[in-house]
Amino acid sequence: LTLQNALRYALEREELFLCYQPLLETNTKNIMGVEALIRWQHPSFGMISPAEFIPLAEESGLIIPIGEWVLETACRQSHHWQQQGFTPLLMSVNLSVRQFNQPDLIDRIIKVLQRTDLSPNWLKLEITESLAMNCATKTVQTLKILKSLGIHLAIDDFGTGYSSLSYLKQFNLDILKIDRSFVADISTENDITLVTSIIKMAHGLNMQVVAEGVETEQQFDLLRANGCDYVQGFYFYKPLVEKDITKLLAQQE
Ligand code: G
Ligand code: G
Ligand code: NA
Ligand code: MN
C-alpha cells in the first residue's frame, strides 16, 4: 500500500486530526490565536508529517477534501471554545495552492462559516508567498473578497520564496509571518538586519508581524526589542491537542 493510497482513506477512517499552536502577543504573552496544523496517525505507518503528505495531497487533488475538512474542523473548534466562554481566539488555517485556486473557494468558505456558526472575524487564512505571487490579478481579486467578508489574511513563510514588494502592497494583507529560517539565525548580524527590516517594511504597509519558530529567550528578546507584534514557536508552545489548549485557555482566563 502506498502512502498516496492510504491517504485516500485517511479522512473516512478518521486518521487525521488537528493540533493547534498558540500565537502570543509579544508584549503581554497572552494567547491571541492558534494555528491549526494537520496530523496523520496511520495505524501501521505511525505518525506521518504533513511536510510529507501535504505535497502528496496536492498532487493527487486530495487536498481539496482534506483542506475543507481542516477548515471546517478548525472553525467548529473555534466556535466551540467560544461557547465554552473563553475569550475568542483568532483561528489560523493554512490554505494550499490548489485549494486557493478552486473556482468556488469563496462559496465554500462562506458555507463552512455558516455551518460552524463562526464569525469570519475569528478566521485567519494563511497563504504562502509563492501562492501569492502566482497569477496576480485573480489572486488580488480573491483576497479582496475574503477581506471584505471580514476574514483576516496572512502571508506565511515570508522571505523563503519570490516576493514582489508591489504585489505585497496590492494584496493588502493583515499579517506577515516571518519564516522560521530567519528567526533561527537571528543572532547573526545580517539576520538581525533582515528581520528588523522585514518588520519595518510590514508595519509601513500596515501589516502586523508574526515571527514563527521562536525557540529561545534570546530570539524572543530580539524580536520584542524590534517591535515584532506576535510570536509563535517551541519556546512557548508546541502544537497541542484540543484538550491541552482548553487547559491553557482556562489558566489564562
Ligand atoms: O506542523 P508541521 O510543522 O509538521 O507542518 C509541516 C508543514 O505542513 C508546514 O509547512 C505546514 O504549513 C504544513 N501544514 C500543516 N497543516 C496544514 C494544513 O492543514 N494545510 C496545509 N495546506 N498545510 C499544512
Ligand atoms: O509552514 P508553516 O509555517 O505553516 O509551518 C508550521 C510548522 O512549524 C508546524 O508544523 C510546526 O510544528 C512547526 N513549528 C512551530 N514552531 C516551531 C519552532 O519553534 N521550531 C521549529 N523547528 N518548528 C516549529
Ligand atoms: Na502556516
Ligand atoms: Mn510558516
**Annotated domain spans of the chain:** 3-246
Which residues lie below 8 Å from residue 126, measured CB to CB, with a gap of 6+?
A: 35, 92, 93, 94, 95, 154, 155, 156, 177
Distance 55 CA to ligand 1 centre (A): 10
Q: What is the pLDDT of residues 187-229, one digit of tens each?
A: 888 889 999 999 999 999 999 999 999 999 999 999 999 999 9
> CA-to-CA distance for 46 and 174, rounded, in angstroms?
37
Q: How far apart are CA 129 and CA 131, in angstroms?
A: 5
Ligand 2: residue of 20, 34, 37 to mutate (most ligand atoms within 8 A of CB) is 37
Q: How far, in Å, from the CA of 212 to the mean position of ligand 2?
A: 7
- Whether 132 shows a pLDDT value over 80: the answer reads no
Atom of ligand 1 nearest to the CA of 21: 1
* pLDDT level of residue 154 (50, 70, 90 thresholds): very high
Distance, CA of 179 to CA of 166 (rounded, Å)? 20
Which grid coordinates are listed for 135? Answer: 497569477
Strand-strand pairing, 31-42 and 46-48: antiparallel
One DSSP character per residue, 78-125 reads HHHHHHTTPPP-EEEEE--HHHHT-TTHHHHHHHHHHHHT--GGGEEE
> What is the CA angle 75-24-204, rounded to 5?
95
Amino acid (1-letter code) at residue 72: E
Query: Per-residue confidence at 135, pLDDT binned at 50, 70, 90?
Result: low
**What is the residue-averaged pLDDT of the chain?**
94
What is the average per-residue pLDDT within 155-169?
Answer: 82
> What is the Cα–Cα distance from 167 to 60, expressed in whole angstroms?
29
Mean pLDDT (whole number) for 121-149: 89
Tell me which fold the domain 3-246 belongs to.
TIM Barrel (3.20.20)
What nine digits make up the cell of 20? 493547534
How far apart CA 131 and CA 135 sit, in angstroms, is: 8
Nearest CA to ligand 2 atom 23: 213
Could you tell me the pLDDT band of residue 159, with boundaries at 50, 70 and 90? Answer: confident
Q: pLDDT tens for residues 117-129?
A: 999 999 999 998 8
Say how far apart CA 233 and CA 230 lie, in whole Å.
10
202 SS3 class = helix
pLDDT for residue 73 is more than 70: yes
Ligand 1, pocket-test mutation among 11, 20, 23, 38, most atoms within 8 A of CB: 38
Here the cell at position 39 is 496530523
Residues within a 6 A CB radius of ligand 2: 21, 37, 94, 156-157, 180, 212-215, 232-234, 239
